[in-house]
Amino acid sequence: MNLTDRDRQHLWHPYTQHKTAQPAIAIVRGKDALLWDENDKEYIDAIASWWVNPFGHSNTVIADAIYKQLTTLEHVLFGGFTHEPAILLGEKLLQILPDNQKKIFFSDNGSTAIEVAIKVSLQYFFNNNQKRTTIIAFEDAFHGDTFAAMAASGISLFTEAFNGMFIDVVRIPVPIKGREMASEAALKEAIKNNPCAAFIFEPLVQGAAGMVMYTPESLDQLIQICHANKVLTIADEVMTGFGKTGKNFACNYLKQQPDMICLSKALTGGTIPMAITTFTQDLFDAFYDDDINKALFHGHTFTANPTGCAAALASLSLLETDTMQHNIARVNQSHLAFQKHIQNHPKVSTTRVLGVIFALEIKIESQESYYGTMRNKLYNFFIEKGVVLRPVGNIVYILPPYIITQQQLEKVYTIVEEALEIV
Ligand SMILES: *Cc1c(COP(=O)(O)O)cnc(C)c1O
């Protein structure tokens, strides 16, 4: 039996209806932007394995750092203990994050980073003897699959089964072009009518919604309204962090600074699951007390895993290099050139680019769902051609590892253009 068949006997995959899904492709190795399956077919990983892998598969700099850490101290509990990789990572991150960020809390994945931010928001007001229990979030947001993260997410197809079991969330429109005023007005209404604790958002790009983009100016406006009303702000940079928008963080485009920032995905260069939530001093101080009940009683067994920290430190050192910054700029320039080339194609309705992120929307006659036929047709076409792309409905996006070669990137564009002919 091959790996694909053995997989099918026991394994349950994410976001998969096993009755109708194609068998999973068994990948046996990866190098840089390439993956190979068990039949030695080659694929270009044009979505960086769900946005986690900026520096390429099987990166030896990160692998060496992991090996060194594994053979020095693989793990130690973080309750009552600490270690240099966590300390160094905290110091390094605070150097590059917005300067109001002062405290680092570790967890395991994007969803837990969000849970921590939401729990801290709610307990912040509790500790200050105020009852504020509502979270404000964008329509079509995606913040993860654990309960509070799911509550804040607005993609209802994923969360229908749990309606009525969520924390209180008020949803406002995304300030895409033309909707800035509607978004601001809805935010003000939400704050006026509800005891709002925090506003959570994916800064500048909503990934899972299909790389929906909006301007820093419009987000600054919303954050400012929150600041004026003492509503906390949570920037979910799980997708946007570590160079994807062309700057280290999407928040670097803002004038206003959020109170909390959530990081994961590319944090360890796509190697080890790890996440971080960062906080202002004011947030930390609300938990700092003689009363033990004011502490943050949240933690995960593998909190601040030293091997993950070592991988993150190696990743940050790669991100900082001129070579990597040059790669980010190169991918961005290529995207812009492709955008110019493709935007007037009769099958294309809109295109957008920010940093290494490119998205195009295909014109549709009737409303197609996420699982619509167009999406599956496109996906299968890309896989057949040896390119890993996962369209969201009628939206095709490219988010490659920064180290993708120019030749590989051109091949991805060519195949995206060819795909327009089959829909
Ligand atoms: C992927 C993602 C999450 C969830 O992260 P997981 O590691 O999958 O739990 C949260 N927010 C955003 C913006 C994401 O892209």
- For residue 47 and ligand 1, the question of a CB distance below 6 A is answered with no
> Does residue 144 have its Cβ closer than 6 Å to ligand 1?
yes
Quickly list DSSP for 17-36: -TTTSPPPP-EEEEEBTEEE
Any ligand 1 atom below 6 A from CB of 109: yes
169, 137 in Cβ contact below 8 A?
Answer: yes
DSSP state of 131: -
Does 241 sit in the ligand 1 pocket, CB within 6 Å? no
Determine if ligand 1 sits within 6 Å of the CB of residue 303: no
In Å, what is the CA distance from 301 to each residue of 90, 295, 305, 348? 19, 18, 9, 47
264 lines ligand 1 (CB under 6 A): yes
Mean residue pLDDT of the chain comes to 96
pLDDT at 198 over 70: yes
**What is residue 392's three-state secondary structure?**
strand
pLDDT band for 369, please (50, 70, 90 cuts): low
Q: What is the pLDDT of residues 273-310, one digit of tens each?
A: 999 999 999 999 999 999 999 999 999 999 999 999 99
Residue type, 107: S
Considering only CA atoms, which residue is closest to atom 6 of ligand 1?
A: 110
Determine if ligand 1 sits within 6 Å of the CB of residue 142: yes
Instruction: Determine if ligand 1 sits within 6 Å of the CB of residue 358.
Output: no
Ligand 1: centre distance to CA 344 (Å): 33
Cα(207) to ligand 1 centroid in Å equals: 9
pLDDT surpassing 80 at residue 174: yes
Which of 264, 268, 302, 399 has most ligand 1 atoms within 8 Å of its beta carbon, as the pocket-test mutant?
264
The predicted structure's pLDDT at residue 368: 56
User: Please, what is the end-to-end C-alpha distance for the chain in angstroms?
Assistant: 35
User: Angle of helix 306-320 relative to helix 322-342, nearest 10 degrees?
Assistant: 70
Ligand 1 pocket, 37 CB below 6 A? no
Mean pLDDT value across residues 37-44? 98
Q: Transcribe 144-171 into DSSP letters.
A: -SSHHHHHH---HHHHGGGTTSS--EEE
Q: SS3 of 376, please?
A: helix
* Packing angle, helices 216-228 and 180-193, rounded to 10: 20
Q: Is the pLDDT of residue 370 over 90?
A: no
- Residue 21 alpha carbon to ligand 1 centre in Å: 23
What is the SS3 assignment for 416?
A: helix
The per-residue pLDDT for range 124-148, each reduced to its tens digit, is 999 999 999 999 999 999 999 999 9
Q: pTM higher than 0.95 for the full model?
A: yes
Q: Which residue has the tokens 């969201």?
A: 392
Atom of ligand 1 nearest to the CA of 273: 7
Supply the pLDDT for residue 338. 98
Distance in Å, CA 289 to ligand 1 centroid:
32
Nearest-atom index, ligand 1, CA of 146: 9
What per-residue confidence (pLDDT) applies to 212?
A: 98
Mean pLDDT for 15-30 is 95
> Rounded mean pLDDT of 81-90?
98
